[in-house]
Amino acid sequence: MNAQASSNPTDGGDLTGRGRRRRVLTLITLGVAVIAAAAVAYYLTVARYYESTDDAYVNGNVVQVTPQVVGTVIAVNADNTQTIKQGEPLVKLDPADARIALQQSEATLAQTVRQVHTLYVDNLQFRAVLNQRKSDLARAQEDYRRRLDIAQSGAVSTEEITHARDTLTEAQAAYDAAEQRLASNQALTWNVSIADHPDVMAAAAHVRDAYLAYARNTLPAPVTGYVAQRVVQVGQRVAPGTPLMAVVPLNEIWVDANFKEVQLEHMRIGQPVALHADVYGSSVTYHGHVVGFSAGTGSAFALLPAQNATGNWIKIVQRLPVRIALDPNELQAHPLRIGLSVIAEVDLHDQKGATLENAPNTVYQTPVFKDYGAEANGEIAQIIVQNAGGDTAQVAAASRTLRDTSSVAIAR
């Protein structure tokens, strides 16, 4: 009796402990269930509409500055980290040889214009000679006819008639020769002005070529941006295509985000993207949008692409670069540099866009070289005006060319 009574308190304590453990396990199970339900609900309502990656980097155009002619560098007007505006001279080459070649070609053009102008003057001279020969021919014909009329009366000898006939023949031959000379000279000037004459155009082409070679001794900035990768030094001998420096337009940059292939199923062009750059942290949020997908993964365009047709092949999840355009106003407020790390998160709610579309091609161009041709044409027109010999029509034609090309005087 005593032994049985003494064991009852112990059994009651075990029951109390098991009940407490059961309640704890029940609470834990309920908590896990609630957390799982919350996670599922969050995924279904929020998380599945967003894809993010930290494998994203700022990218942009790196515009190379290279010479178009051979020369020796005499000036470098910018250095790394400095800003430069479009059209400002970055590098200057020694222009001495090019200047001499330009002067020689200009002298040749001037001489050619004068020679061609002489052809037009010769037309007038040959026409005057032709008129004179025509008059001589008419007089010889009249003398011969008159002598034939009075020959029957015996007042004119046969010898005199023979001399008159010979004079008429000579006058006719002189007229024919003058007519041929005029026709030959007119063939050299027919239907062309001095500026359009083949000889002048050939000489003008040499001037244009020499002018371009002279103008290209100054290398302007193709775009507005920051100077980077400057390797050129004063006194260096450079050849066409030699990289001298680069200009980076930081207002024309984008983000290349490398998403895993399993993240691309619902990603479309035009979807909004929120980005955070490591340089600013989470305090600055950039807003962009998807503008396109790369045509292949990074490994597909590698110098040594992966060879998967092997016995020890291991599947690796690939990443595809996605281009994201940034808001220019946000870039101006918080500038970025090429190569900086970015975290990108794409909002997938709107899936009306396409994964591939015929978007308009992006055109990158610079106007800094387009004036060279107009300036050369202006130089040519000035030379024609100065050497056309006061011919009103020719000077007017050359002046029209001068106005149309909006010439800019070359610095001597």
Q: What is the CATH number of the domain that holds 230?
A: 2.40.50.100
Provide the number of structural domains found in the chain.
Answer: 2
CA distance linking residue 407 with residue 374, whole number of Å:
6
Instruction: Examine residue 170 and state whether it is found in any structural domain, yes or no.
Output: yes
Instruction: Examine residue 376 and state whether it is found in any structural domain, yes or no.
Output: no
Do residue 207 and residue 107 come from a single domain? yes
Which pair of tokens denotes residue 251? Answer: 């207002």
Do residue 79 and residue 151 come from a single domain? no
Do residue 110 and residue 68 come from a single domain? no
Do residue 159 and residue 232 come from a single domain? no
CA distance linking residue 379 with residue 210, whole number of Å:
11
- Comparing CA positions, the residue from 381, 360, 231 lying closest to residue 291 is 360
CA distance linking residue 321 with residue 297, whole number of Å:
7
pTM exceeds 0.75 for this model: no
Do residue 184 and residue 87 come from a single domain? no
Instruction: Examine residue 109 and state whether it is found in any structural domain, yes or no.
Output: yes
Instruction: Examine residue 288 and state whether it is found in any structural domain, yes or no.
Output: no
pLDDT of residue 172: 84
Do residue 176 and residue 237 come from a single domain? no
Do residue 107 and residue 202 come from a single domain? yes
Do residue 238 and residue 203 come from a single domain? no
pLDDT of residue 75: 96
Do residue 110 and residue 158 come from a single domain? yes
Instruction: Examine residue 363 and state whether it is found in any structural domain, yes or no.
Output: no
Residues with Cβ within 8 Å of 393's Cβ and at least 6 positions away in sequence, in order, are 193
pLDDT of residue 171: 80
Instruction: Examine residue 178 and state whether it is found in any structural domain, yes or no.
Output: yes
| Low-confidence residues in the chain, pLDDT < 70 | 1-15, 42, 45-47, 151-156, 185, 187, 309-311, 358-360, 390-412
CA distance linking residue 132 with residue 177, whole number of Å:
12
Do residue 207 and residue 103 come from a single domain? yes
Do residue 76 and residue 130 come from a single domain? no
pLDDT of residue 394: 56
**Residues 291, 269 contacting (CB under 8 angstroms):** yes
Instruction: Examine residue 266 and state whether it is found in any structural domain, yes or no.
Output: no
- Provide the residue range defining the domain that includes 197: 97-216
pLDDT of residue 412: 37
pLDDT of residue 60: 93
Instruction: Examine residue 108 and state whether it is found in any structural domain, yes or no.
Output: yes
- Comparing CA positions, the residue from 71, 78, 66, 76 lying closest to residue 93 is 71
Do residue 239 and residue 179 come from a single domain? no
